[in-house]
A = this chain, B = another copy of it.
């Protein structure tokens, strides 16, 4: 257990955006909102998963929708609290803890706003160890945990509470509601007992995010190579280096979809790389061949700064390094791959773990 103060959010938001693999929301906005909440309501108590009592009532909190829209449509701050109150009323019980549903600039920091405003502890864990675009794509789904009852709230004052027959239906209904609410909504879902949290979620994601952010900052201050530092910490591989040549982006059915083309500068790692995304990076295609895919993490970092770049920030001319890192082991099971493997996203290829594709050869 430890207290998280305003200053901690700087590193945390940056590191979370690394794990967000292009999605998970803008770290700058996420940081500002969480800092504002802490300034107003005091520091947040962060507890480890194994400190949570088995009978705790844990409710993850997050932003849903297209991050491209969130950049221009700031949350008002009380949406997520209305979603929490709606869920508490429905459950007839007090929520004792919140937790992050995915890693990301916004979705790792949103739960801090909730924890600060509701004065409940935040659990250091998440439901992915990274970010994914759809609701059912969390490790609790594999443990048979229902996404509903789920509450949604928008900045205008509308709320919705849904209960569905399965988590795919939750995604479907919640996505339409989110689109109507203006392409983004704040959500509370996947109600968990403390015991369910411990067996089904990925522990330590918040701590890891803060560590990654600190690593980037300190390595830069020491004039080191922050990309290398990230690669070491995450057991990752350098996939490509180059300059962003083209970004195609559209907001479709509530998602930010598109692709980025990066041209090699030195040609050391190939002539060209295409990254396709749906909120998050799905596949990296180097010179026509898929070299990394979900559920492994495909991460775009500023070549010099080591800072993560989300898909909505990606611009022509940016010099970037693309890295790939192994996902949490739960995603590599048949159940995990059925939920988030390349075939689910329409790529007719078998998943090959990033370690097998790259081996020791191009290891940083």
Q: Which residues of A contact B (CB under 8 A)?
A: 86, 89-90, 156-165, 169, 172-173, 176-177, 179-181
- Determine the chain B residues whose CB is within 8 A of the CB of A180 once the complex forms: 172-173, 176
- Expressed in whole angstroms, the Cα–Cα distance for A86 and B172 within the complex equals 20
- Expressed in whole angstroms, the Cα–Cα distance for A177 and B158 within the complex equals 14
A163–B158 contact, CB under 8 A? yes
- Determine the chain B residues whose CB is within 8 A of the CB of A162 once the complex forms: 158-161, 177
Given contacts A90-B89, A90-B90, A161-B161, contact A156 B169 (CB under 8 A): yes
With a 10 A CB-CB cut-off, give which of A90, A157, A176 has the most chain B CB atoms. Answer: A176
The contact sample of 22 A-B pairs, CB cut-off 8 A, is A90-B90, A90-B161, A156-B165, A156-B169, A157-B165, A158-B162, A158-B163, A158-B169, A158-B173, A159-B162, A159-B163, A160-B161, A160-B163, A160-B177, A161-B161, A161-B162, A172-B180, A173-B177, A173-B181, A176-B176, A176-B180, A177-B177
Considering the complex, give the chain B residue whose CB is closest to the CB of A161: B161
Supplied contacts A86-B163, A90-B90, A160-B161, 9 more A-B pairs, CB within 8 Å: A158-B169, A159-B162, A160-B163, A160-B177, A161-B162, A172-B180, A173-B177, A173-B180, A176-B180
Considering the complex, give the chain B residue whose CB is closest to the CB of A162: B160
Min CB distance A148 to B, Å, is 9
A173–B156 contact, CB under 8 A? no
Min CB distance A150 to B, Å, is 10
- Determine the chain B residues whose CB is within 8 A of the CB of A156 once the complex forms: 165, 169
- Expressed in whole angstroms, the Cα–Cα distance for A90 and B149 within the complex equals 13
- Determine the chain B residues whose CB is within 8 A of the CB of A157 once the complex forms: 164-165
Min CB distance A43 to B, Å, is 32
Min CB distance A227 to B, Å, is 43
- Determine the chain B residues whose CB is within 8 A of the CB of A176 once the complex forms: 176-177, 179-180
- Determine the chain B residues whose CB is within 8 A of the CB of A159 once the complex forms: 162-164
Considering the complex, give the chain B residue whose CB is closest to the CB of A89: B90
